[in-house]
Homo-oligomer: A and B are copies of this chain.
Amino acid sequence: SRNIRLAVIPGDGIGTEVVAEGLKVLEAVGTKIEPTHYDLGAARYHRTGETLPDSVLEELRGFDAILLGAIGDPSVPPGILERDLLLRLRFTFDHYVNLRPVKLFPGVETPLADTPAEDIDMIVVREGTEGLYAGTGGVMRRGTPHEIATQESLNTAHGVERVVRYAFEQAKSRPRKKLTLVHKTNVLSYAGDLWQRTVNRVAEEYPEVTTDYSHIDAASMFFVTQPERFDVIVTDNLFGDIITDLGAAIAGGIGLAASGNINPERTAPSMFEPVHGSAPDIAGQGKADPTATILSVAMLLDHLGLRDEAAKVEQAVADDIVERLAGWAGRTTHEIGDDITARVSG
């Protein structure tokens, strides 16, 4: 089989460090992979003023997948790199499924008291291309006492239905077969109505899947008090952003949370990235946990049909976690990467 063409965007802060470990594992697991590095992020922005040149965007389109570290640096005004680089990639490549497992690995400490590992095992299917992330809105009379600033949430039948269908497929394939829509239908009535009607309609095609609804405020509470309520969650872009960080927190922390920005029709490359940010405060110190990136690599392998390799990486992480209970605090980014690499090579 031909080599996998992988675009690698280490990005900012700890991005570089964790991506290096991800690539090490990817090579060790025995894939024929041909990585091409792209130096997008804060450094390039400062050097050239570019965030994501059109020519680079078109080049990226030709790859089989993208591995991304983290984007964002305090030296760049908030939003520039996020919107013009990260969100532009998600939007241009139609990553309408932002897939984020929330799973407590046995042996990992959760901040929740008395919660057995099996109680935290869900998949959040976050919509990735619309809602408030559309970026539409505006400002009038800026800086005056009469300023008005608006943001618009754009939701389309096309955009909602495709992600809801994906979520039903996920739910169908899992033992519990339960899908929960998370929204705020009692306040966001137009968007909420579209989401709820879509779930109701698609549900008819999936009689084996139990459907459920929770307001985002109640769902946030349940994440902490009854995480076992959830199996598959489908939700919009902003609610998904919030609830997956909360999910990362309850499942042992942002150091373990993986994600895939997926284009299920494969009309453009999907992009895999840890949920965490660039963490400039600990960058360059070898303190970052590369596990979230390594688990994102497992999602990448799975997406490319390399299921055995994906399972091997996941198992290596699970084994590493069980053993880290003893020596966790001591290991550097490199050492964790090396330990997991040794396991997948073995």
Contact = CB atoms under 8 A, between A and B. Distances in A.
Copies of this chain per assembly: 2
Given A246-B220, A246-B221, A190 B149 contact: yes
Size class of the contact patch on chain A: 35 or more
Nearest to A158: B145
A160 to B, nearest CB: 8
Nearest to A227: B111
Nearest to A72: B186
Given A144-B157, A145-B157, A186-B78, A220 B249 contact: yes
A36 interface: no
Given A72-B186, A82-B187, A192-B78, A153 B132 contact: yes
Interface stretch (A168-176, A237-245, A302-310, A320-328): A237-245
Contact of A224 (B186, B189, B224, B242): B224
B242 A217 contact: yes
Contact of A221 (B161, B218, B245): B245
B190 A139 contact: yes
A244 B242 CA distance: 13
B153 A147 contact: no
Contacts of A190: 137-139, 149-151
A188 interface: yes
A254 interface: yes
Contacts of A148: 154-157
A242 B215 CA distance: 9
A77 B127 CA distance: 25
Q: List 7 A-B pairs, minimum CB-CB distance, nearest first.
A: A147-B157, A217-B245, A113-B113, A149-B194, A221-B249, A149-B190, A224-B249
Interface of A: 72, 78-79, 82-83, 87, 109-113, 115, 132-133, 135, 137-139, 141, 143-158, 161, 184-194, 197, 216-218, 220-221, 223-225, 238, 241-246, 248-250, 253-254
Given A150-B154, A151-B152, 17 more contacts: A83-B186, A83-B187, A110-B113, A111-B224, A132-B153, A137-B189, A139-B190, A145-B158, A146-B156, A146-B158, A147-B156, A147-B194, A150-B153, A152-B153, A217-B242, A217-B245, A224-B249
